[in-house]
Structures are given as structure tokens and as C-alpha cells.
Structure 1
Amino acid sequence: LQYFQVLLNLARVLFNLQYLDDAIYLTRRSLEVQPPDKNAWQQYFTLGEIFKAYGHYQEASLHLRHALELKPEFEPAVAALKDMESLPDTTIHVYTLLIIVCLVSVSGPG
């Protein structure tokens, strides 16, 4: 195994244990030390999975699409993108709720 593969394997272990920040760091480090002649689709797929777990769907989608550019028709990346597309967009509802709560608390009673 090469150094970049060891870093990526460790990142995947940390991801499975839900150490997401550490997994992101090691995956990015794996990208930095990887020889330029190697295809980085695994790192981008891993970053996509991690950001999806965080709920950062735009960033996850970006990395998953990059993985598919490097390895077209990679089924797990296709499935992850489809899964995210089927999720309801709850972000807007959360922001709307926060705005309502802020407006109610600012205006106060009477």
C-alpha cells in the first residue's frame, strides 16, 4: 500500500466511527500526497460521503460529481446523489422557523 492509500483507509475507518472532522482532514491529506498519475476518485467519493453525513449536501454533491467525472458510472456515487436528491429541503424550513422565532421574541408580548 502506498502512503496516500493508508491515509484514505484510515479516513474511511474514522468516517465509519463518526469522527467526521478527522476523516475529512485525512482524506484531504491523502489527496495532497497522492502521485499525480493516480486517479483520485476514491478521495472525492469519500469526501462526498462525509459531507453528506454532515448534512452539507451541496458540498457533498460537488465531491460526488467530481468522483463520477473521474470514474463514470461508479454506482455508489450515483446512488448517493440520487439519495440526496430525494431528501426534502429542510434547510429552508429551519431558516423560516428561526426567523419567526426571532421576530416573535423581538416583538415580545403586548
Structure 2
Amino acid sequence: MTNNNLPPHHSVKNMIFRKNNKKLKPSTSKNISKDLWCEGLPIHVAIIPDGNRRRALEKKVDPWEGHEAGAKNTEEIIKKASDLGIKQLSIWGSSINNLEKRTINEKRAL
């Protein structure tokens, strides 16, 4: 169900996701499915991936592996957003300041 009367800046924090009449956390992409119902579905969703590199380093693997996992998750979110009828999706890649801190090998992997 898409509500086109919502302003484009409607925040996901204000959304109530339900599945089988139970509230879900909106930040968990695994919970987004075809039988999901949402009060106030937004027209536009912005994704700001954060922590992929940090999580990889915590697991003692190369940073690119964290970025790869984040990219796969983002692909899944894109598919689910389309299934739900979300019309606009923005994805923040990285800031110039963040890229300046990275090694040349990590930048190439990105």
C-alpha cells in the first residue's frame, strides 16, 4: 500500500511496520517482505550505509569484505523497496573526507 499524500521527507522513524499484526523494527531489512504492511509508506527512502568497514575489521577480515556484504544488503533493500512500491531511493556512497582516509587498495575495491 503506497500513500502518495506523504511529503517526500517523511521519516522512516515515524513509520510503523507490521507483519502478521506485529510491529517490526523498520531498520531490519530481513523484515521487509511482500506481506508487509506499513502505515504511511514513504515516497522516498534514503540509505546511508555505515559500519561495513568497521564490522569487517572487528571480524578480522579485509575492509572490502565488509563493503561487499553491505553492497549485497543494499541490493536486497533496492529489490524490496521496489516490491513495496517505493518510488524514489537514494544511496549515499561516501564523503570525500571519508575516501581521503582510505588506502588506495581499499578505494580500488570500492
* Alignment TM-score, normalising by the size of structure 1: 0.32
Q: Choose between structure 1 and 2: higher strand proportion.
A: 2
Which structure: larger Rg?
1
Flag the structure with more relative contact order, 1 or 2, with Cα contacts below 8 A and sequence separation at least 6. Answer: 2
The structure where helix makes up a greater share of residues is 1
